[in-house]
Amino acid sequence: MLPKEEFLFLWNHATIKVLDLRYELFKPEEIGKSYKLPANMFLYATGGGAEVQIDLINYTLEGFHLIHGGKGTTLQIMATDKGFEYFLIFYRASIPLTSNKMIARALQTNNPFNYQYSLVPNSPITMFEKIYFMYKKWENANNLSKFTVKSLFYQLLNEIFMQLDQDSVDIQKLNVSSQIKAYLEQNYAQPLTLESIAKALRYSPSHLSIQFKQQLGCSPIEYLIQLRIEKASILLEKTNASLRDIA
């Protein structure tokens, strides 16, 4: 769990830009969707229900519920037979490179904009009204409307952080190695390179390699080779496929 003071300290020094607001509704006969988040995101569920997974963490949503996910994570939504209604707020947060060394060190160790957490809002209707008004303003697409959205987003953040400060909410650190492992499990049979893996996951090759090696003790390519050997061993043992076909 990230220390709340450091979490709020870094947010307090950040520059925020709202990138997009979306409203989505899955009807009871629709299943859901899966996609990689192009930016940091708040998902606010307002009706129906769904099983939501962000990377390896599962949430069962019923009624009003807020989830935060970081850029590059995979969001999967499986709606229940009640359907599912929700808003998505995509944003970018950055801290100027001119910040002092203490801020830079804290950001390198614990980037709060990528962290994952969920909560049931204490004032769900108030939060709904704020987000709905942001969404309607965003549709206007003029500069004044976008400035209004930005100011409302800060109010929304304040509401969220006040509840995080009061409640015992578990804030999960983004696990880069879990993202890479999940991607390799799905694509190990494809011709992969460090550059192609990094591009797919929206990281730089050097950052991806360093993070993976720190967490698992080997490089992504070494892990991929071992994974392919394990898959080939299973095929050799459990099937009559030829060596050529397995290769």
Q: Which residues contact 157 (CB under 8 A, 6 or more apart)?
A: 11, 16
Q: Which residues contact 158 (CB under 8 A, 6 or more apart)?
A: none
pLDDT at 85: 93
Q: Is 148 a domain residue?
A: yes
Q: Is 13 a domain residue?
A: yes
Helix (H, G, I), strand (E, B) or coil at 110: coil
Q: Is 77 a domain residue?
A: yes
Q: What is the pLDDT of residues 89-132, one digit of tens each?
A: 999 988 876 557 777 666 666 677 878 888 888 888 889 999 99
Determine if the pTM surpasses 0.85.
no
The separation between the first and the last C-alpha atoms of the chain, rounded to the nearest angstrom, is 43
Domain stops at, among 166, 185, 208:
166
* 157 in the same domain as 38: yes
Under 8 Å between Cβ of 36 and 74: yes
* 186 in the same domain as 159: no
Length of the chain as a residue count: 247
> Which residue range(s) make up the domain with 216?
176-246
Q: What is the pLDDT of residues 149-182, one digit of tens each?
A: 999 999 999 999 888 777 665 555 555 676 677 7
CATH code assigned at 72: 2.60.120.280
Domain stops at, among 117, 147, 166:
166
Q: Is 171 a domain residue?
A: no
* 134 in the same domain as 195: no
| Count of structural domains, the chain | 2
* 142 in the same domain as 114: yes
Q: Is the pLDDT of residue 6 over 60?
A: yes
DSSP, residue by residue, 74-99? EEEEEEEEEEEEEEEEEEEEE--TTS
Give the distance, in angstroms, between the CA of residue 204 and the centroid of all CA atoms in the same chain: 17
Give the distance, in angstroms, between the CA of residue 181 and the centroid of all CA atoms in the same chain: 16
* 123 in the same domain as 18: yes
> E-strand spans in 70-205?
74-94, 117-119
Domain stops at, among 114, 143, 166:
166
Q: For the chain, give the longest Cα–Cα distance.
A: 67
* 58 in the same domain as 131: yes
* 154 in the same domain as 101: yes
Under 8 Å between Cβ of 85 and 32: no
- Reading the block at residue 209, the tokens are 């390699």
Q: Is 137 a domain residue?
A: yes
